[in-house]
């Protein structure tokens, strides 16, 4: 079973939001691809790093909230559109910011999915750190632009997780190998062809 990065609400995973790692532990699925909450017990899980997903600071193309470059001091006061508190992505973003000395940020709106985050940014409600895979191919056409953050570089580790006692069928083993191979190709492509045309480093 493959779970989204966004926690699953309701449905087959009870009424609470359960990340893939917890679903594996609870026996709800055999394996998952997910972010991992560093505060959760994962001692019974096998964990493989698949990919480090870059995040970029994004603003509306005509926004006056921020110029083309934002330093740490400016980041502490900028209005941010973020994932909600309690979601793994938000916790990991906050932790990454704390490691560079940003202990307080100004979250003005929170959504659990990248699409409404991007819409709020485009409406100039605030700026936000967005996963590379969630960004539109044509930023200008979507009404967005990158903001360079030379003092900070954010990425989120994405893991393949499964119970250390699990016994898999041949079909499951093949699916896991396909997942590993797909992310290995992503990593290789990123090294050979960095997103110079779209990323804030260009």
Residues in the chain: 202
Provide the pLDDT confidence category of residue 29 given band limits of 50, 70 and 90.
Answer: confident
Q: 49-83 b/e with 16+ CB inside 10 Å = b?
A: ebbebbbbbbbbeebebbeeebeeeebeebbbbbb
Residue that has been written with the tokens 């009424």 in this structure: 15
Tell me yes or no: is domain 55-154 CATH 3.40.190.170.
no
**What mean pLDDT is predicted for residues 12-36?**
65
Q: What is the pLDDT of residues 37-72, one digit of tens each?
A: 777 778 888 999 998 888 999 999 999 999 999 998
Res 198: pLDDT = 42
Q: What is the pLDDT of residues 116-149, one digit of tens each?
A: 999 999 999 999 999 998 999 999 999 999 999 9
Instruction: Sketch the domain layout of the chain as residue ranges.
Output: 55-154
Alpha helices (runs of H) in 100-169, residue ranges in sequence order: 114-122, 139-142
Res 6: pLDDT = 43
């Amino acid at each position: 079973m493959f779970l989204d990065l966004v926690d699953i609400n309701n449905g087959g995973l009870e009424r609470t939001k359960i990340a893939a790692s917890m679903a594996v532990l609870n026996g709800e699925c055999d394996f998952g691809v997910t972010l991992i909450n560093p505060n959760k017990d994962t001692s019974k899980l096998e964990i493989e790093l698949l990919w480090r997903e870059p995040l970029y600071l994004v603003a509306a193309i005509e926004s006056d909230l921020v110029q083309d470059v934002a330093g740490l001091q400016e980041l502490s006061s900028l209005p941010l559109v973020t994932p909600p508190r309690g979601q793994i992505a938000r916790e990991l973003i906050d932790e990454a910011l704390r490691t560079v000395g940003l202990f307080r940020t100004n979250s003005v709106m929170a959504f659990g999915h990248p699409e409404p985050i991007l819409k709020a940014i485009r409406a100039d409600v605030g700026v936000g750190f967005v996963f590379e895979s969630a960004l539109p191919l044509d930023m200008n056409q979507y009404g967005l632009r990158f903001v360079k953050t030379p003092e900070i570089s954010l990425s989120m580790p994405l893991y393949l997780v499964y119970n250390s006692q699990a016994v898999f069928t041949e079909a499951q083993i093949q699916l896991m190998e396909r997942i590993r191979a797909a992310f290995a190709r992503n990593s290789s492509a990123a090294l050979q062809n960095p997103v110079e045309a779209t990323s804030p480093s260009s």
